[in-house]
């Protein structure tokens, strides 16, 4: 049957009834005329995509029924309910019913116009209309309302949506939603009525929603959100409950559009009620391992303290955790309140309900496709058959999170086992990529132009191994390194690793603001390490390092023919004796041991926990250098009152003790290349190597009176950092949380104070030559210049006139030794970390509070495209 051809259903005649014997046949009566109220046929006209039989199945009219206006109206309602037709009608022609329809078009595509603030990828999944579906007006209306709702959640309450339909051939249409987004609706004012104990400002500070002000341009909390309005009411209640107002309630919260229809004014009406104190506070324990009286004495709140609902919640959590540590996995701790309104006291009883001791029945690991089961299971602090311990579960969660192989905020699930005293621990993981391929380029105030490339796999072959290759290049340093780390050697809790590297470093000094390359140090070597755990948080790591160092100077700049024999040597006047002393090739064989304590909650961005490292190194197991070096570092993080403010303290220090006598007074027994250096970026507010012992080389000039005087202007003085044997460094930093918008940009501002010092080398012999140093020959005889400019050993001319001494170039200098002091240098400032599209970015503004003569301070520093 072809679509569009009228479809007809006809009544069939009844079959004649069978007769047992012939009988006289009466004369036939004339057949009655069909009634016009009885349906003889039903046909469909206008159908294109739908089969007529399908259309007839939607209505209740049938052949043989009586045709009435009520039945026709019901059929029209049934056709309208299908939402398949844009127009339809029913006509009765003497029992021949004709249903005429116009089908709704098919949607070809959905087009969004004007949506600049909300991407199409966020709108299209939320609407019902889609290509190849039937167009209906009800769906269009619903989609318009949904799009407007999406914009309201973005704070744009003035948004409007105008749907349009573009007719196409073959009964197809394009649906176009023309969107006028309008301005973002802000919260212009928050009014609070009924508060007497706390000011409006105090209460607004507890709310997530903030009033729109110019200084909150980064915050997204200034836009109006009905869900946030309800959340703020809860925040107000929590605040008053922590302050003792147990009867507090929010009477009403109303948000009104301003007359210009752009912003909102929110008004809260509150009832504060009376302030309560704690009455009798006790613990009622039904667990045999806990004594009610002794636990009651250890409760943080006492009778007479102001009532604090947050303290009650924290106590419930602490008691639950304590029960979990003793193996009661499903211990139920319920606070019972008895409010005495006459005395304004709140009596609280913490009830520890009886629960069986629980044991671990099974450990299940699910969801890992690449990572081997053993990599996850070895991080569990509980095994099958162990008594349940909530501390062990928490530590397991932290260790698996620290792997970095799985989803953020992973948690070990606790599921009831086959018996009441059995529990199943489930690790339902979602693997994430662990390979890293990075290319970066940037500019640093320290290194100038920087290029870096690295490739690393942190879960090689799903075994938890780390393998990596990195290459770095800048104006003053170049390096290449291959590394491998195995956290569990032979499936034992022993870690091992090796690094093979080549590092070329160009040291430099400052001539005023100009940076000049001095010595070049090329290091080729490898380092091996082996670590064993001592406790859950503490480990011991042994290491061996073998370095071959090549230290050289530019002979064209720093070498001279000192003896006149044609052999060029390092000139102490040009390079300084400390640089000439560092030249040469040497082999360093270093054995080290480190004691590490790590309880940080995150390796990337910790907010609580402690990190302590103590390291000692001995150089002298073969090789050319002999020393012992000790270093220590301790760092602590706090999340201040869970407010998002992260406070950290850092203390660091080190010393190096020489084990060889390099000969002669005023010659330090620790080579320049083995000493500590301090400055940017370790202590902000000072230049690179800007803290500690240094020599200032001041050239002599002749003044207006003919006197020889040294230049003391820093721009014209050569500044060489010498390093030191001892150093210390301390830092206090407070990271400030910003609004959601700033967090999405990766902005993390902080305020900080840095303290540090570097000192402890043997003072070098200093030069002070106002008139310069006379040149000598290879035998030490002084050299003179005759009137013709020729060099001669004769101090007199033929007529007896003295010849002028031959003065070595650049030898009229004065050397000043400064900065060798343990006195603390103190700086303070503000900084911002930004995870920019170009790579990590750090900017700091510093103010030097205390320094020592000779130190190079610096106000502004930044780094882009390199780790910091």
- Tell me, what's the pLDDT at 15? 37
Tell me which of 96-100, 163-167, 772-776, 852-856 is least confident. 772-776
Q: Could you tell me the CA-to-CA distances from 64 to 37, 40, 55, 74, 89 in Å, in that order?
A: 10, 6, 18, 17, 20
Cα distances (angstroms) measured from residue 662 to each of 243, 519, 581, 624, 724: 70, 20, 10, 11, 16
pLDDT bin (cut points 50, 70, 90) of residue 14 is very low
Residue 512: count of CB within 10 angstroms of its CB: 12
276 near 344, Cβ under 8 Å?
Answer: yes
Q: Are 737 and 644 in contact (CB under 8 A)?
A: yes
Instruction: Express each pLDDT in 392-439 by its tens digit.
Output: 888 888 888 878 788 777 888 888 888 888 888 988 888 888 777 766
C-beta of residue 659 within 8 angstroms of C-beta of residue 620: yes
> Measured between alpha carbons, how far is 542 from 466 in angstroms, rounded to an integer?
19
Judged by average pLDDT, the poorest of 29-43, 196-210, 633-647 is 29-43
pLDDT at 23: 47
Rounded alpha-carbon distances, angstroms, from residue 321 to 247, 309, 641: 30, 19, 19
Task: Give burial (CB, 10 Å; 0-12/13-18/19+) of 547.
Answer: buried
Work out the pLDDT band at 524, boundaries 50, 70, 90.
very high
CA distance linking residue 163 with residue 175, whole number of Å: 7
Q: What is the pTM of this model?
A: 0.60
Mean pLDDT along residues 705-709:
83
C-alpha closest to that of 804 among 790, 820, 824: 790
CA atoms of 241 and 238, how far apart (whole Å): 5
8-state DSSP, 807: B
736 falls in which pLDDT band (50, 70, 90)?
confident
What DSSP state is assigned to residue 420?
T
Q: Smallest Cα–Cα separation from 417: which of 373, 386, 395?
A: 386
What Rg, from alpha-carbon coordinates, does the chain have? 43
Instruction: Please give the pLDDT value at position 745.
Output: 63
What percentage of the chain carries pLDDT values higher than 90?
Answer: 21
Round to whole Å and give the CA distance between 436 and 590: 31
Say whether pLDDT at 12 is over 50.
no
**pLDDT value at residue 440:** 60
Work out the pLDDT band at 378, boundaries 50, 70, 90: confident
Output the pLDDT for position 495: 92
Segment 202-224 mean pLDDT: 79
Give the residue-averaged pLDDT of 293-320.
86
Between residues 614 and 586, the one the model is more confident about: 614
Q: What is the DSSP string of 404-448?
A: -SB-TT---EEEE-SSTTEEEEEEE--B---EEEEEEEEEETTTE
Q: Please tell me the predicted confidence (pLDDT) of residue 604.
A: 64
Give the DSSP letter of residue 380: -
- What is the spatial distance between Cα 121 and Cα 127, in angstroms, rounded to a whole number? 11
Positive or negative torsion for Cα 607, 608, 612, 613? negative
d(CA 501, CA 482): 6
Angstrom distance (rounded) from CA 527 to CA 483:
9
Three-state secondary structure call for residue 581: helix
Higher pLDDT, 556 or 41: 41
Bridge partners for 848 per DSSP: 827
Q: Give the integer Cα–Cα distance in Å for 768 and 553.
A: 24
Mean pLDDT of the chain: 82
Residues 6+ apart with CB under 8 A from 571: 558, 559, 560, 562, 580
Q: What per-residue confidence (pLDDT) applies to 669? A: 86
Q: E strands of 258-369, at which residues?
A: 264-271, 277-285, 332-340, 345-353, 359-366
Cα 672 vs. chain centroid, distance in angstroms?
39
């Amino acid at each position: 049957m072809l679509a569009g051809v009228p479809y007809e259903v006809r009544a069939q005649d009844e079959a004649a009834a069978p007769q047992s014997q012939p009988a006289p046949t009466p004369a036939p009566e004339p057949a009655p005329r069909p009634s016009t109220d009885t349906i003889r046929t039903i046909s469909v006209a206008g159908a294109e995509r739908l089969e007529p039989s399908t259309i007839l199945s939607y209505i209740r009219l049938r052949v043989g029924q009586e045709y009435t206006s009520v039945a026709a109206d019901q059929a029209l309602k049934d056709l309208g309910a299908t939402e398949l037709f844009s127009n339809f009608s029913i006509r009765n022609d003497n029992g021949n019913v004709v249903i005429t329809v116009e089908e709704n078009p098919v949607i070809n595509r959905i087009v969004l116009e004007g949506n600049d603030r909300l991407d199409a990828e966020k709108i299209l999944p939320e609407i019902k209309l889609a290509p190849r579906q039937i167009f209906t007006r009800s769906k269009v209306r619903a989609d318009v309302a949904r799009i407007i709702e999406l914009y309201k959640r973005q704070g744009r309450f003035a948004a409007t949506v105008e749907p349009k339909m573009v007719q196409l051939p073959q009964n197809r249409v394009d649906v176009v939603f023309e969107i006028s987004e309008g301005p973002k609706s802000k919260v212009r004012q928050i009014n609070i009525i009924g508060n007497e104990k706390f000011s409006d400002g105090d209460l607004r500070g507890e709310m997530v929603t903030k009033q729109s002000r110019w200084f909150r341009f980064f915050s997204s909390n200034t836009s109006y959100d009905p869900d946030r309005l309800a959340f703020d009411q809860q925040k107000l209640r929590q605040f008053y409950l922590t302050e003792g107002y147990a009867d507090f309630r929010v009477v009403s919260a109303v948000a009104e559009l301003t007359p210009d229809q752009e912003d909102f004014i929110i008004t809260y009406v509150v009832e504060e009620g009376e302030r309560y104190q704690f009455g009798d506070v006790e613990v009622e324990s039904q667990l045999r391992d806990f004594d009610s009286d002794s636990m009651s004495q250890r409760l943080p709140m006492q009778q007479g303290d102001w009532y604090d609902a947050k303290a009650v919640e924290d106590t419930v959590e602490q008691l639950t955790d304590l029960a979990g540590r003793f193996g009661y996995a499903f211990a139920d701790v319920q606070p019972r309140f008895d409010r005495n309104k006459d005395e304004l006291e709140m009596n609280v009883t913490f009830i520890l309900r009886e629960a069986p001791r629980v044991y671990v029945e099974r450990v299940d690991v699910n969801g890992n496709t690449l990572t081997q089961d053993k990599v996850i299971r070895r991080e569990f602090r509980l095994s099958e058959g162990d008594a349940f311990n909530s501390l062990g579960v928490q530590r397991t969660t932290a260790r698996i999170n620290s792997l970095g192989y799985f989803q953020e905020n992973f948690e070990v699930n606790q599921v009831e086992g086959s018996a009441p005293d059995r529990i199943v621990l489930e690790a339902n993981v979602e693997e994430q990529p662990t390979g890293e391929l990075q290319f970066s380029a940037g500019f640093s105030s320290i290194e100038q132009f920087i290029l870096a490339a690295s490739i690393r796999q942190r879960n090689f072959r799903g075994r938890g191994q780390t393998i990596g290759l990195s290459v770095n290049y800048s104006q003053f340093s170049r390096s290449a390194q291959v590394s491998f780390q195995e956290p569990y050697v032979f499936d034992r809790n022993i870690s091992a690793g090796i690094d093979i590297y080549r590092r070329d470093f160009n040291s430099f000094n400052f001539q005023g603001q100009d940076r000049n390359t001095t010595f070049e140090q090329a290091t080729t070597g490898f380092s091996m390490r082996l670590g064993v755990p001592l406790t859950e948080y503490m480990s011991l790591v042994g290491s061996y390092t073998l370095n071959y160092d090549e230290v050289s100077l530019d002979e064209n700049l720093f070498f001279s023919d000192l003896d006149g024999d044609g052999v060029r040597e390092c000139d102490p006047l040009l390079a300084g004796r400390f640089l000439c002393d560092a030249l040469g090739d040497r082999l360093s064989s270093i054995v080290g041991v480190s004691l590490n304590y790590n309880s940080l909650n995150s390796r990337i961005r910790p907010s609580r926990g402690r990190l302590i490292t103590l390291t000692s190194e001995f150089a002298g197991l073969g090789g050319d250098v002999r020393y012992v070096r000790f270093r220590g570092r301790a760092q602590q993080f706090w999340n201040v009152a869970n407010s998002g403010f992260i406070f950290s303290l850092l203390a660091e220090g080190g010393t190096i003790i020489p084990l060889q006598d390099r000969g002669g007074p005023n010659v330090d027994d620790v080579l320049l290349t083995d000493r500590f250096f301090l400055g940017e970026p370790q202590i902000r507010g000072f230049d690179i190597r800007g803290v500690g012992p240094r020599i200032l080389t001041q050239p002599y000039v002749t003044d207006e009176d003919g006197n020889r005087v040294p230049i003391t202007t820093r721009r014209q003085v050569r500044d060489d950092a010498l390093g030191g044997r001892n150093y210390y460094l301390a830092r206090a930093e407070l990271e400030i949380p910003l609004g959601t918008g700033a967090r999405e940009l990766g902005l993390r501002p902080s305020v900080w104070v840095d303290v540090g010092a570097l000192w402890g080398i043997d003072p070098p012999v200093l030069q002070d030559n106002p008139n310069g140093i006379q040149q000598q020959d290879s035998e030490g005889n002084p050299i003179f210049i005759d009137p013709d400019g020729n060099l001669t050993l004769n101090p007199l001319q033929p007529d007896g006139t003295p010849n002028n001494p031959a003065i070595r170039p650049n030898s009229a200098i004065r050397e000043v030794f400064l900065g060798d002091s343990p006195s603390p240098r103190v700086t303070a400032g503000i900084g911002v970390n930004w995870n920019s599209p170009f790579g990590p970015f750090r900017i700091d503004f510093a103010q030097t509070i205390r320094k020592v003569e000779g130190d190079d301070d610096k106000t502004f520093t930044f780094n882009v495209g390199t780790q910091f």
